[in-house]
Amino acid sequence: MKTLADIGEFGLIERIRKRIQERGLAGFQSNKDLVGIGDDCAVIPSGDDELELITTDMLLEDSHFRLDWISPEDLGYKSLAVNLSDIAAMGGTPTSVFLSIGLPLDTSLEWVDRFFDGFLGLAQEYGVVLMGGDTTKSLHGVVINVVVRGTVTRDALTLRSAAKPEQLVAVSGRLGESGAGLKWLMEHRPERNVDSPLTNGRLNDNIRHCIHAHYRPELYMKEAQWLARQTGIGAMLDLSDGVLSDARHIAEESNVSIHIEMEKIPVSEPLREVCLEQDWDSEALALAAGEDYGLLFTVDADRAEELVKKFEEEFSSPIHLIGRVSERTSEGLIHLLKNGTPYILSDGQTHGFDHFKTI
């Protein structure tokens, strides 16, 4: 019997998408006016030049987080941050949020208050208003579902389907650090104390930095909004599943192939140090670990150099050009290259994070 383990998270989403199309339901062909399944947000026209963005993400105890490793403030922050990141990825501005939570009866009020400190603190920072949600008792751990609405003008909308052959592939943000933080937690299984991972004196600064990247992902909102308004930008998304998987999403939606050059993949100092110390493969973490929440986008080759310069002046942080787009090749959607020759990661990974394949 075939199960979800055979088709994976993205196979399941594709299956749902097909079911909708089979029924002839309108509006699921991506175009600049109406986007259904397949991008970071759904897009709905809301005025002459205005589009509404809607995104939702679910976080489940023991699938996405462990209550004994994450503080309630960080969980509140992260639940909203991952959704705001999807609005950013479309070039948009978030406006309001809905929060549904399922909580076990014995959840302390202190935990609830601290969760909302993290959640509402971030909402306030971005001028996002909590406008509703749902609250239920849960018999099996904490369940969090967040819906964020936002807006974007038609000319600034950046779709996953907008990559074109000959464009370059670019990334902004810090790859693999969040993945390294999670891997450290999984392997070292710190004792139960919600505050221990970040304050425990045994941790060195690099590991602490990676765990922080995992719990409090930095948002690239201003950067994404700025990029979306530059000429020559093609597709854009936020890195939630890792470069390998997320580049594949762009390749699928844009009907192209993407060639990634290993020597151009940025490995940050903390990631390099942690990997040396733990004997981990930094390339694999940078490419295949999820929850980076940086931006992956494509840009016209003749605009790329100037864009990199302007971005650095504007934000004092780099854009890395890590590959290029081509017409769809018969060999596949993603091609990894090292010094021009085909390359396979040391652990043979060809995909990033997939909920039904890596549990």
Q: Does 86 bind Mg ion (CB under 5 A)?
A: yes
| Cβ atoms of residues 126 and 84 within 8 Å | yes
By C-beta, is 88 or 207 nearer to ligand ADP?
A: 88
Q: Does 290 bind ligand ADP (CB under 6 A)?
A: no
Q: Of the candidates 161, 143, 155, 162, which has an alpha carbon nearest to the alpha carbon of residue 58? A: 143
Answer for which of 74, 238, 253, 283 binds Mg ion (CB under 5 A) is 238
Answer for which of 5, 6, 15, 16 binds ligand ADP (CB under 6 A) is 16
Residue 133 phi, psi (nearest 5): 160, -150
Three-state SS sequence of 181-250: HHHHHHHHCCCCCCCHHHHCCCCCHHHHHHHHHHHCCCCCHHHHHHHHCCCCEEEEEECCCCHHHHHHHH
Q: Does 173 bind ligand ADP (CB under 6 A)?
A: no
Answer for which of 51, 57, 254, 293 binds ligand ADP (CB under 6 A) is 57
What does the block give as tokens for 241? 């599943």
Segment near ligand ADP (CB under 6 A); pick from 35-43, 184-192, 204-212, 254-262? 35-43
How many residues line the site for ligand ADP (CB under 6 A)?
A: 9
C-alpha distances out from residue 248 to 58, 152, 228, 350, Å: 22, 25, 20, 10
Question: Which of ligand ADP, Mg ion, none has residue 218 at its interface (CB below 5 to 8 Å by kind)?
Answer: none
Q: Does 40 bind Mg ion (CB under 5 A)?
A: yes
Q: Does 241 bind Mg ion (CB under 5 A)?
A: no
Distance CA 276, CA 101 (A): 40
Mapping DSSP to helix (H, G, I), strand (E, B) and coil, where does residue 300 land?
coil
Answer for which of 5, 15, 19, 37 binds ligand ADP (CB under 6 A) is 37
Q: Does 240 bind ligand ADP (CB under 6 A)?
A: yes
Question: Which of Mg ion, ligand ADP, none has residue 254 at its interface (CB below 5 to 8 Å by kind)?
Answer: none
| Cβ atoms of residues 55 and 93 within 8 Å | no
By C-beta, is 98 or 111 nearer to ligand ADP?
A: 98
Question: Which of Mg ion, ligand ADP, none has residue 176 at its interface (CB below 5 to 8 Å by kind)?
Answer: none
Residue nearest to ligand ADP (CB): 240
Q: Does 225 bind ligand ADP (CB under 6 A)?
A: no
Q: Does 292 bind Mg ion (CB under 5 A)?
A: no
| Cβ atoms of residues 260 and 169 within 8 Å | yes
Q: Does 186 bind ligand ADP (CB under 6 A)?
A: no
CA 267 to chain centre: 18
According to DSSP, residue 87 is labeled: H
Question: Which of ligand ADP, Mg ion, none has residue 37 at its interface (CB below 5 to 8 Å by kind)?
Answer: ligand ADP
Q: Where along the sequence are the contacts to Mg ion (CB under 5 A)?
A: 40, 86, 238, 240
